[in-house]
A and B are shown apart, each in its own frame.
Chain A
Amino acid sequence: MSSPVPVVEVEDLRVTLRRGQAEVEAVRGVSLTVGRGEIVGIVGESGSGKSVLGLSLMALLPAAARPVVTGRIRILGTDMVGTTATADRLVRKKHIGAVFQDPMTSLDPTMTIGNQLAEVTSNRREVVRLLTDVGIADPETRLGAFPHQLSGGLRQRVMIALSLARNPSLIIADEPTTALDVTVQAQILQLLLDLRESRGCSVVFVTHDLGVAAQICDRIAVMYQGRIVESGDVDTVLGRPEHDYTKGLLASRIDLTTPRDRPILSAHGAGSGDALPAVWPAVVPGAPAVTIADARRTFSTGPFWKRRQLEAVRGVTLEIGQGESMALVGESGCGKSTLLRLVAGLDTPTSGSVTVAGDTGPQMIFQDAGSSLTPWLTVGELLGERLSAAVPGIRKPEADRRIAETLERVGLPAEVSRVKGASLSGGQRQRVAIARAVIVPPTVLLCDEPTSALDVSLAATVLNLLGRLRRELGMSVLFVTHDLAAARIIADRIAVMNHGRIVELGDAETVCASPTNDYTAALLSAIPGRELRQSHAAEHGDHSEERRA
């Protein structure tokens, strides 16, 4: 697959962006080569510069950030640094296709997909052929559809069709599967592999997920603080990592072999600030804290003359004991969030009942902690608001004491109480959201995908934090997620939901190790990075032995 001119040549690339008043050096001297037909993964956490590198390759850095780029980028021998906008545009047009994270927003919402594809192709037949190539059945009927009428997976297929339209030599895919369900993710990864096979195009695959990278990439470059700290063959980098950062990434990655009886190991100090036990104390569930009895929730849609019934939850019976942690696992549209809203008391069941024990109502933690914090309130005010609502007439010194105590409990410095959410990092914001939920310890803590927007190391620390808090405060936890690996860590029992029903319920380890339901098995097999899991498991074995010794 080698060729005299590499598809991508990057030499000592430096990119400086303006964020607010400050100048940030997002990429600090990166060199990279991508050969013809090669899939190269750029792996790193948020802020590592991986997306900036991806956008630089297309000369598509946001103008508002006034990017300053030095070094050299060549796409098939054509320079992309220090050239005119028109020249860059022609290179994009001729050689590059782009696939972005969120196909919903990346496609024009007011245009049919047929029209959007027609913008980059010559004729209708070509459009149909492209849609067939990306595995869309019955493409003719899809041409008139708008993006919002398609499922997430179909939308991403359209996005890929768009990127393939001019038969590019290079596809730059920036987190193309992050917004997708795990089974759909598996299909899209397979599609990219197939397309590489049939068209011979190279792919630069930007991702934070080591498992995904392991599944699709030939080579991997690990980015940290704007630099490539380690790169090479996928098996070498992930199997025998040399750099501490890579080792840390691998260690904080959760999969189906991560030990559940102890906090997740994070090698690069991500767990600092949290005093964690070596092994979790066992939890013995008490009397039922949440009782769901044959709950159903039906939504009516459409105009009154052709009213349709949408059954989101179709008869769920479930009991969560005091102190027990239950994970509700399923894909988009399975009804898990509706069920969570029923337990939170934000919605009432159409029939059946949902009972929550205790005086303090359930508290909730959301996926996007940033938008769940009121932007003009300081952290102290946010926590105080919750406190005075639950404990009327609480005095200021007492409130301040409890705020400080809670911040310490979630591993945040006391000064945080004086700042606003916007000036905190994503991980800190999620800690604030957790602090708000537990400042008055609720009987039941509801978590709606609290880790899926976080980097692996942050997700690990949040899972550790939740594991500690629930044991300290004796809370029951209902944890909604699409990620079985995270569910297995956080939960004592797992309930798998599909089409509004619970299809499998059991001990977390048992459900993951020997699922009895086909759907559960499908979810499990779609988790990416199985090769990684094997080599990783060996490593983990070593760790456990060291610990025991």
Chain B
Amino acid sequence: MIMFVIRRIASMLAVLLALTIALFTLQELSGVDPARAYVGANASAEALERTRVQLGLDQPAIVRYFDYLGGLLHGDLQNSLRTRTPVADGLSTAFPATIELALWALGLALVLGSIFAVLTVVRWKGAGVVRVVLLSGASAPTFLLTMLGLLFFYGQLGLLPSGGRSSYGSTSPGPTGLFVLDGLLAGRVDVATDAIWHLILPAACVAISPAVAIGRVLVDGLRINLVSDHARTARAAGMPEGLVMLRHAVRNSLGATLSMIGIQAGLLLGGLVVVEKIVSWPGVGSYLDKSVQASDFPGIAGVALLLGVTYVVLNTLVDLLQVAADRRIALS
């Protein structure tokens, strides 16, 4: 068991290392000269050379890679060519914004998916309606769904805000950078509820498609396990149907469902980048958008690294949860 956790974490670190190598190589191949970009097109050859030495660009690639890696370990994501400030500073507010939205979206996807699955399996009469609503939501592209949602709930009804993250400015009242959590921690319920109002629309739009995918896998698992021999054993022992579902059906369905959650979480992160732009969410998607327009390679690499790390950590977490649900995995 412990060996399994150690192995998983070791392989996670190996993947992350490979990611840094890939990003560094891409940066090398991109043809952008950071020194030129730094000093501007009109600077003298002398000034360019000085900056080059100053930035360590005269060193061989391998040395510069380890400098880069060393910097990463200290939270240094290089300087942005666009803002001339550390990329890490720019992302320090953008990343929590994205994470907060992603967590809400994922949470919502899990809740919707589970409700969908359980209603379907217990043959509740309205399950068909729920399925139609979710399926039609999932078949529309996320960005379109978000725009339509915005037009309706903001434009027509004036119920939800037009976009942004908070009506209370861009600084979070607490340490985590997650508005809802920080608002509650600081006793500012108004800030927390306001943040929730801002979160609802984008989170729901991003959540629908993963909810259907996760729900379907869970339905299949529950169906198979509810008629399985071990469920029959539990029933024969006089266990109530609710417990049979919870202990013997849900648990045995978790493996495949967790795999799907991992896949969907990755897709969800990618989808957020677009949705952030539509609802003016000050997250890494918006940051990436600006960086791309300015050909700011360190900015782009910083976002790629951050999203990559999130994705890898998430998948490691899914693996570990899978083992917790079915310990046979660690034994084989």
Contact = CB atoms under 8 A, between A and B. Distances in A.
A134 B234 CA distance: 19
Given A92-B235, A100-B232, 7 more contacts: A60-B232, A60-B235, A96-B238, A98-B233, A105-B229, A106-B230, A110-B328
A278 interface: no
B233 A92 contact: no
Contacts of B236: 58, 60, 92, 96-98, 163, 172
B239 interface: yes
Given A62-B227, A110-B325, A146-B328, A165 B237 contact: yes
Interface in B182-210: none
Given A119-B234, A120-B237, A64 B227 contact: yes
Interface stretch (B16-24, B71-79, B246-254): B246-254
Interface of B: 227-230, 232-241, 247-248, 251-252, 325-328, 331
A126 interface: no
A153 B97 CA distance: 57
A62 B228 CA distance: 10
A22 interface: no
A287 to B, nearest CB: 46
A414 B204 CA distance: 61
B253 to A, nearest CB: 10
Contacts of A455: none
Interface in A48-97: 58, 60, 62, 64, 85-86, 89-94, 96-97
A149 to B, nearest CB: 8
B237 to A, nearest CB: 5
A108 B234 CA distance: 9
Contacts of B241: 85
A109 interface: yes
Contacts of B230: 105-109
Interface in A126-174: 146, 148-149, 159, 162-163, 165-166, 172
A92 B237 CA distance: 6
A301 to B, nearest CB: 10
B237 A93 contact: yes
A110 B252 contact: yes
Contact of A119 (B229, B237, B252): B237
A85 B328 CA distance: 34
B238 A162 contact: no
B237 A109 contact: no
Nearest to B332: A148
B197 to A, nearest CB: 41
Contacts of B233: 98, 100, 106-108, 159, 162
A102 interface: yes
Interface of A: 58, 60, 62, 64, 85-86, 89-94, 96-98, 100, 102, 105-112, 119-120, 146, 148-149, 159, 162-163, 165-166, 172
Given A100-B229, A162-B237, A108 B248 contact: yes
Nearest to B231: A108
Contacts of A92: 235-238
Nearest to A96: B236
A106 B238 contact: no
Contacts of B238: 89-94, 96, 166
Best-buried of A90, A110, A172 by chain B (most CB within 10 Å): A110
Contacts of A106: 229-230, 232-233
A58 B233 CA distance: 11
A96 B228 CA distance: 20
Nearest to A59: B235
18 contacts: A85-B241, A89-B235, A89-B239, A92-B235, A92-B236, A98-B232, A98-B233, A98-B237, A100-B233, A108-B233, A108-B247, A109-B252, A110-B325, A110-B328, A119-B237, A119-B239, A146-B327, A166-B237
Contacts of B252: 108-110
A100 B237 CA distance: 12
Nearest to A86: B240
A86 B242 CA distance: 12
Q: Which 4 A-B pairs have the closest CB atoms?
A: A93-B238, A98-B236, A105-B229, A92-B238
Nearest to A93: B238
A423 to B, nearest CB: 23
Contacts of A148: 328
Contacts of B232: 60, 98, 100, 106
A172 B247 CA distance: 24
Given A92-B235, A92-B238, A96-B236, A105 B228 contact: yes
Contacts of B237: 92-93, 97-98, 119-120, 162-163, 165-166
A110 B327 contact: yes
B251 A110 contact: yes
A117 to B, nearest CB: 10
A113 to B, nearest CB: 12
A28 to B, nearest CB: 24
A93 B239 CA distance: 7
B263 to A, nearest CB: 21
Contacts of B251: 108, 110-111
A105 B248 CA distance: 12
Contacts of A62: 227
B107 to A, nearest CB: 25
Contacts of B235: 60, 89, 92
A149 B236 CA distance: 24
A119 B328 contact: no
A535 B232 CA distance: 39
Nearest to A101: B229
A477 to B, nearest CB: 34
B224 to A, nearest CB: 11
B328 A102 contact: no
A89 B240 contact: yes
B118 to A, nearest CB: 17
Contacts of A149: 331
Nearest to A64: B227
B240 A102 contact: no
Contacts of A96: 236, 238
